[in-house]
Structure 1
Amino acid sequence: MGELKTGIELTPVQYGPQPLYRGEFGSFGDPAFADTAYIRLDVNTAPGLYDLATGGTNLFACEQCVYGYQDVTSPTQKTFVAESGSLLLALKVSPQQTAGALANVTLRESVAAAPLSAPYKGTAPVAGGECRWIRFATWDTTRPGGCDPREGSLTSNLPGHTCVAEDAAATDGTLEKSLGTKTQGEACTQTPASENQLASTDCAPGYACTSAYTEARQCLATCDFMAADPGCPTGTVCGVYGLCIQQSVMEPIGYLFDPALIGESCTAGFAEFCGVEGARGVCADLTGAGHGTCYRYARARSECGAGEELGFVSYPLTGGGFDRTYGWCYPDGL
């Protein structure tokens, strides 16, 4: 199994709703077509040893999933899903940046199975189908200076540094040296990273020097929108990429807000933000009622309750690609 990459390492960038590492197997089919390899984890998967038999060769049911496709895009493309074996998650810097190993993994030929229309579709083993075997393989998707922007992580608040989010939901980040004293809204300068040095800014620790909302860089406080108190300066909200910014700045560039609280009916059919700081959700019309309902945000599929599934907001990225890390729990079956 070749080297695996995360969404930010792909061209174009493709962040999935849950951590998804992608690579290629050595060819075991028609050499004219690629054989792709995947590991999908739940955002909350903790370091430890996992039995890949859990989930029953079903990509809908597994939280730690190993699978692949033989002869991708060919008329004879086949799907192979782990039915047994071990996955060791040895190191976790962030959900996207991990290192681990696979051992004695049997991949069973599988076909699509119910549910067929959910964000996570099902698979079932083919009776008498082919199998493939991974004796042993390792992966490492950590990056130099990698960090986890989420509140409470070991790297979210290091002295003299700022963990700057790389994805919209702020689950993956890169450390920058914060060498100045500038704070919210002040113009700033960033010195790019070099081979042996982190990027540095003249912002104070906890402030990113960013051009996310303006052409010129400015210091913006970093935040976690899933925290009970994101801690943004007065007059700002915790927006995408874990940055505190005025709602009045976000709205003209296409980010919609609705006053409905979690569980209430929205005015709009869709809005990226409903609820209040510390209890955010998304407005979505899943029943065709003509107005949305405010469904609570969640980062991990495992955070959804019984009878719920994890949906996602898909943000298109400049140059192609997408970011689907903003997740929300909704009643399954709608």
Structure 2
Amino acid sequence: MPTGLWFNMQINENKVELNQLIQHLRMDGIRTIYYGPFTYNVINELGYHIKQYLDKSKNVRDKAFYAFVELCENIGNYAATYEVVGKKRIGTGLMALSETEKSYCIQTVNYVTVQQQQQLQQRLAKVTSMDRRELRAYKNDLRQQAIQNKHHSGNIGLIEVLLRLNQKVDFHWIETSENLVLFVVKAYIDKKDDSGTKMDDLVIKGEKGTYLTPDVYFSAQTGVCEIKGESYQEDTFEFYNTLINWIDTYIHEVKKPLTLNLKLTYFNTSSSRALQEIFLLLKEYQEQGGEVTINWYYLMHDESMLEEAEDFQLSTGLKFNVISVEKFD
């Protein structure tokens, strides 16, 4: 990662005013800089400019754009300083886009109160210590809480940025002469397009005995993934974690259409929870523009498997192709 502006600055007793930051930014290879209220129109116009400037692969451009939107919306919603625009309180702050030989960097700066700082520090300590699976689960929990409490946001903006950029995000605090603290976020986007990354197929031969494991064949070349048989393992987490990690790598690095074919005759409760996690991961990929197809095959007259498909669709919001067959291939 490039040496950051915030480390290069000569700050007297670690205190600096925002207008000083702007002057230093202009001398630090900045391509785009904005300071003011982050209204919807401002974010939209800046986003258009950034997309035009980043004349790179769609993957690189999308990563930068999504990080930009999440960080700027956080300023508009939560900054301690604000302007009233059309009778609405809009947070103010600074956004800058810089470029090095290997990466782009989106930096945002805004004031927060000491109380906000303490809350953010606790939350950031938690999320930055999580791996991808834990982070996704935490994000889904926050999203469900927001739905239940009828909140417009689940406060998941920074989590989205961490997930999209594979944790390539730095957070800093700068004291000021005001009774506020500057919250600095630096998000890095590699210029190298990692879409189409080669990866191995995942093949697991099912077993039948005291415990039951399904056959698994995930093709990295075609994106067709199949789980077939019965699922009742001694360590369900370990078994399905292998599948989830493979899918997570595929959708974040290969980024091609994915088809999941399920041909199950039985699965226990812990397997059901693992399948739910797979579906939520695919739902997230679909919401980000990924192409996802889920084919749920069930044996004729097996109403329980038909009902399972219906329940999963209701709980995840995904659309399944539910297909009745006489026997599995």
TM range (shorter): under 0.3
Question: Rg bigger for which structure?
Answer: 2
TM-score between the two structures when normalised by the length of structure 2: 0.25
TM-score (norm 1): 0.25
Q: As a proportion of its length, which structure holds more helix?
A: 2
